[in-house]
């Protein structure tokens, strides 16, 4: 359905309206769909159509099925079998997930293809390794897109997190590779770390190249506001890693889901965006338990690991929609003005956000180096 929807907003709205009339859906749903279409995120159409299912059906649903009534569910994995099983709308990948998948025997053919393309396009072993890395990332994304109706998030090398121009160049290269494989750029989100440089790279990609971006490793409201002010398509504020930091650095070692500091952070960001009418959508990420996920029901999107998808599938406890546009509009948050100096100062002052951003970049970079080493060894045998 999504692949044949015309690109015109008016055409999409008309098509969805006809669909709703055929299915006798209430008219308020159309308004919410059109609002989300203005966010440039067409996969929401499926979500809002599902929203109007009778309550008698919902009561028999698993927690995962219920969650899909409130939120777009995204698979946080590079494993194709997981996507076939849980049927998410979107999928996200990162260097760690690609590294894990690359070690699995079922992806041997994909890696072989990436290496052959690299040998054909690279002169030195270093050039071939870089080409193989890029090929593998895009090949994984292409395969994932054959299994889902929505978008895949493909991450720029974390080692470019403080290099705006290099990040832009790598993102454009990925999009060209996807387009060569027959994938339109509208189905790809380029993931960038939420450093000041990463956010500015995303701003250029969105405004000058029409490339949609997903800003990751986001731990603070100030990072989120900088992204929204740059009109990026989507942000991925982390939940579990914020909890990890508080457990490790404070006296409190356990939290009820609604009091979880990661849940509260994402809730505040969501409310701020809705109150001040930002188009950027919020995708909660990095969960430690399904309690965190349930406490964020209603968030625009949630990206969830296979283990927690399984737990949600096995649970049939009723879910409450905690995050709503109405609640966001009614929040008592004040507008914050932000520039580079303000951003850097607030990040410096927020030990948790600063620690976790730095740690996340280091860890993703380390996994990229591990994957490079594996690919270099394979290329050496071919050459």
Cite the active site residues: 191
Q: For the chain, where are the E strands, in sequence order?
A: 72-76, 90-92, 152-155, 188-193, 213-218, 234-237, 281-284, 301-304
Sign of CA dihedral 288, 258, 239, 89: positive
**Does residue 240 contact residue 288 with C-beta atoms inside 8 Å?**
yes
138's enclosing H/E stretch is: helix 125-145
In Å, how far are 220, 228, 282, 321 from 268, measured between CA atoms? Answer: 10, 14, 11, 15
**Does residue 274 contact residue 298 with C-beta atoms inside 8 Å?**
no
Residues 321 and 66: their CA atoms lie apart, in Å, by: 10
| Residue 230: closest CA among 270, 278, 276, 187 | 278
**Does residue 218 contact residue 265 with C-beta atoms inside 8 Å?**
no
Residue 378 backbone phi and psi in degrees, to 5: -65, -40
- What tokens does 259 get? 């009091």
- What tokens does 99 get? 């590294």
**Does residue 121 contact residue 150 with C-beta atoms inside 8 Å?**
no
Residues 281 and 231: their CA atoms lie apart, in Å, by: 10
Residues 73 and 373: their CA atoms lie apart, in Å, by: 33
Residues 123 and 142: their CA atoms lie apart, in Å, by: 25
| Residue 138: closest CA among 154, 125, 127 | 154
How far does Cα 171 stand from its chain's mean position?
15
Look at residue 214 and give its three-state secondary structure. strand
Q: Say which residues have a Cβ less than 8 Å from residue 254's Cβ, sequence separation at least 6.
A: 247
**Does residue 177 contact residue 138 with C-beta atoms inside 8 Å?**
yes
């Amino acid at each position: 359905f999504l692949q044949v929807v015309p690109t015109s907003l008016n055409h999409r709205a008309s098509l969805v309206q006809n669909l709703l009339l055929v299915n006798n859906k209430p008219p308020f749903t159309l308004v919410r769909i059109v609002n989300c279409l203005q966010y440039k995120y067409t996969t929401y159409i499926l979500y809002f159509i599902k929203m109007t299912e009778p309550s008698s059906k919902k009561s028999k649903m698993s927690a995962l099925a219920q969650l899909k009534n409130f939120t777009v569910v995204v698979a946080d994995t590079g494993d194709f079998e997981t996507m076939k099983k849980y049927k998410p709308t979107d999928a996200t990948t990162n260097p760690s997930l690609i590294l894990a998948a690359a070690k699995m025997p079922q992806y041997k053919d994909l890696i072989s293809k990436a290496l052959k393309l690299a040998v054909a396009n690279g002169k030195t072993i270093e050039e071939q390794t870089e080409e193989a890395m890029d090929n593998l990332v895009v090949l994984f994304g292409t395969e994932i897109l054959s299994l889902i109706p929505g978008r895949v998030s493909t991450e720029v090398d974390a080692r470019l997190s403080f290099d705006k121009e290099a990040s832009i160049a790598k993102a454009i290269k990925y999009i060209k590779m996807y387009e060569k494989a027959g994938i339109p750029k509208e189905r790809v989100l380029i993931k960038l770390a939420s450093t000041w440089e990463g956010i500015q790279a995303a701003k250029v990609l969105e405004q000058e190249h029409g490339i949609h971006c997903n800003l990751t490793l986001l731990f603070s409201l100030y990072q989120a506001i900088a992204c929204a002010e740059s009109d990026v398509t989507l942000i991925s504020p982390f939940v579990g890693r914020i909890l990890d930091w508080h457990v490790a650095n404070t006296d409190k070692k356990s939290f009820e889901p609604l009091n979880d500091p990661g849940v509260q952070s994402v809730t505040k960001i969501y409310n701020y965006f809705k109150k001040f009418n930002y188009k950027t959508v919020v995708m909660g990420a990095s969960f430690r338990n399904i309690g965190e996920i349930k406490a964020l029901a209603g968030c625009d999107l949630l990206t969830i690991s296979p283990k927690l998808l399984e737990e949600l599938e096995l649970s049939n406890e009723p879910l409450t929609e905690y995050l709503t546009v109405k609640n966001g509009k009614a929040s008592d948050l004040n507008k914050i003005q932000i520039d580079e100096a303000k951003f850097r100062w607030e990040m410096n002052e927020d030990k948790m956000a600063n620690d976790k951003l730095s740690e996340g970049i280091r860890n993703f970079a380390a996994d990229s180096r591990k994957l490079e080493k594996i690919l270099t060894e394979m290329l050496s045998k071919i050459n």
